[in-house]
Structure 1
Amino acid sequence: MSTFRMEHKNPEGLFQSKAFSQAITVSGKAKTIYIGGQNAVNASGELVGPGDLEVQTKQALHNIATILASEHASFANLVKLNIYLVSGSDPRVGYKAFLEIAGELEHPPLVTVLFVSEFARPSVLLEIDGIAVIEDND
């Protein structure tokens, strides 16, 4: 039996989305995983998919999946994602890639999407950071 509880809240009077939740509460004995900004750089330090938002999104999500797996977590454990896109990018392309990589989550995380003028590495089109929660076994 889990020693923590994560409740996805979509209060009446707010938009009900399949892509994101409106609020999430976490209580009990939990471990928080803070995921630093992930872009399309692979394990060799190479940028994957220059100029291709879909390919870059998939690589960033692969990086996030690797971080989650290293903590025995999955996309289902995500509480919050912040997605930064270069201005002019179509967020629907990223959402399509998310569905392909993570699947349609029964309880999606909180999501904030921001547009930025550029990143430190000009050919990067997006960056994603996040927070996940798992049971604390310590």
Structure 2
Amino acid sequence: MAIQYFNPDGLNKNPVFTNVVSVLGYTKTIYIGGQDPIDASGNIVGKGDIKRQTKQVLANLETAVKAAGGIPENIVKWNIYLVQGQSLLLGFEAFQEFWGRRPNPPAVTTAIVSGLANPDFLIEMDAIAVMESNQP
């Protein structure tokens, strides 16, 4: 399996995301449904605090990908749904703290939305991860 990360000339190069990720070979694809800022007990984390909520969502995504046998580095695509009026910059700061110095951040799409399933949710994220499969 080969995963290639591209930030081609003519597109903005941002250290927070990769513009294009290509996967070739026998792979296992993991689709992670929308994760909200709730803990394992169902409590909302960081009411009114986009950075804390983003950290919780990222922790939930990490738990989800690990449950399927992957690691955060296997995530190739994230979709971010951010409630209108929230700071995208603070959310990206939380992502950079989470991702650290790992190379090849995933491709990212962000949509500004009027609301989410719970009015206390400020952010939701879903993801796609790809990893080598042991199956032919």
TM range (shorter): over 0.9
Pairs aligned (count): 135
Measured in 1, the distance between the counterparts of 2:14 and 2:97 equals 18
Q: Counterpart amino acid of 2:83? A: V
TM-score relative to the length of structure 1: 0.92
Further displaced range: 70-79 or 52-61: 70-79
Structure 2 residue runs of 5 or longer lacking an equivalent are none
Q: Does residue 24 of the first structure (1) align with residue 21 of the second (2)?
A: yes
TM-score relative to the length of structure 2: 0.93
Q: Counterpart amino acid of 1:56? A: Q
Structure 1 residue runs of 5 or longer lacking an equivalent are none
Measured in 2, the distance between the counterparts of 1:9 and 1:68 equals 23
- Aligned counterpart, 1:98: 95
Match of 1:87 among 84, 107, 111: 84
Q: Counterpart amino acid of 1:89? A: Q
Q: Note if contact 2:78-2:106 (Cα within 8 Å) is conserved in structure 1.
A: yes
- Aligned counterpart, 1:74: 71
Match of 1:130 among 123, 127, 135: 127
SS, match of residue 43 in structure 2: coil
Q: Note if contact 2:16-2:95 (Cα within 8 Å) is conserved in structure 1.
A: no
